[in-house]
Amino acid sequence: MKILHRVLHPVLICVVLASCSASDSPTDPGEGGTPSGTRTIKANPSFANDITEIFTRRGCADSNCHGNGAGGLTISTSSAANHARLVNVTSPMSGEVYVIPNDAQNSYLVKKLENRQGSGNGTRMPVSGSALDNIDLTNIKNWINTGAPNN
């Protein structure tokens, strides 16, 4: 019986841990998400409702991040102010445009989120915490690739 217990106990632990793995599914509530606020990938995300929510949930507007203007960019809880600070605005640090409407691939914001910003331009965002998951990153790219509207 002790041998059976010694074999089954580690197997049971592995099964439990595997069932707790992070999910990147299109309906994953993700970091800070709740079952009642399930996040999904959207073809046409709203800046005010979806993109600003990502900035808020991930702490971009906090005082220890862009709430204090870190890296030359100030992010707040105001979607209108954030849009004005991001779209067609050149970063004073890198000389690249934060958000180029219809061009997520070349937008500095996406480069920073994907750690493609090039040497001398800091580190991946967010600096503290995990990288954005597929849902958040795809929604940001979809918003940019649909013209980065102030909606």
Residues 20-52 have pLDDT tens digits of 333 344 444 444 444 446 899 999 999 999 999
Mean pLDDT of the chain: 80
At residue 2, the pLDDT reads 53
What is the phi-psi region of residue 83: left when phi exceeds 0, alpha when psi lies from -120 to 50, beta otherwise?
Answer: alpha
Instruction: Tell me, yes or no, whether 28 lies in a domain.
Output: no
Domain span at residue 96 reads 44-151
Three-state secondary structure call for residue 50: helix
Instruction: Tell me, yes or no, whether 8 lies in a domain.
Output: no
Number of domains composing the chain:
1
Instruction: Tell me, yes or no, whether 55 lies in a domain.
Output: yes
Burial class (CB in 10 A: 0-12, 13-18, 19+), 35: exposed
68: pLDDT confidence band, cut at 50, 70 and 90?
confident
Assess contact for 145 and 104: CB atoms under 8 A: yes
> Is-cis flag, bond preceding 10, omega within 30?
no
Q: What is the mean pLDDT of residues 57-62?
A: 84
Instruction: Tell me, yes or no, whether 35 lies in a domain.
Output: no
The count of other CB atoms within 10 Å of the CB of residue 39 is 23
Instruction: Tell me, yes or no, whether 24 lies in a domain.
Output: no
pTM for the model stands at: 0.74
Instruction: Tell me, yes or no, whether 102 lies in a domain.
Output: yes
Burial class (CB in 10 A: 0-12, 13-18, 19+), 12: exposed
Tokens read off for 22: 């992070």
Which DSSP helix (H) or strand (E) runs through 140?
helix 134-145
Instruction: Tell me, yes or no, whether 29 lies in a domain.
Output: no
